[in-house]
Amino acid sequence: MLEMIRFFFSGRREIYGLRKEYDKIREHVDRQEDEQKRVGLLRMLDQLEPNMVTLEEQKLSGGDTRKLKLYVRSSLLRIKGEMKRGPAMSARAVR
């Protein structure tokens, strides 16, 4: 019981939500039919993975945690936007 209370009142709940969203996006990208678009999106997700692991496993200061959460959240939104686009992927997003 005490562990549940700690989980809900710590920042871990938000990190858990980000991981859940990351996994959903990853599964959706794996089902993409356009191979070029899928490879580009997977590269973007692979660049984001170390930041997710850092958030989950390391004890960071409040400011560092906030910055990393903001970076992860904005990257996930950017990837979602690229998924909604047409079959052609912009060269800027693949970098």
Tally the domains of the chain: 1
Mapping DSSP onto H, E and C, the string for 7-69 reads HHHCCHHHHHHHHHHHHHHHHHHHCCCCHHHHHHHHHHHHHHHHHHHHHHHCCCCHHHHHHHH
Q: Choose between 2 and 60: higher pLDDT.
A: 60
| Segment 32-48, tens digit of pLDDT | 888 999 999 999 999 99
Residue 52 has pLDDT above 80, yes or no: yes
Whole-prediction pTM? 0.78
What local confidence, expressed as pLDDT, does residue 89 receive? 53
Residue ranges making up the domain that contains 8: 2-94
Please, which pLDDT band fits residue 93 given cuts at 50, 70 and 90?
Answer: low
* 16-20, 22-26, 59-63, 75-79, range with the lowest pLDDT: 59-63
Candidates 78, 91, 94; CA nearest to 25 is 78
Exposed/middle/buried for residue 37 (C-beta within 10 Å: 0-12, 13-18, 19+): buried
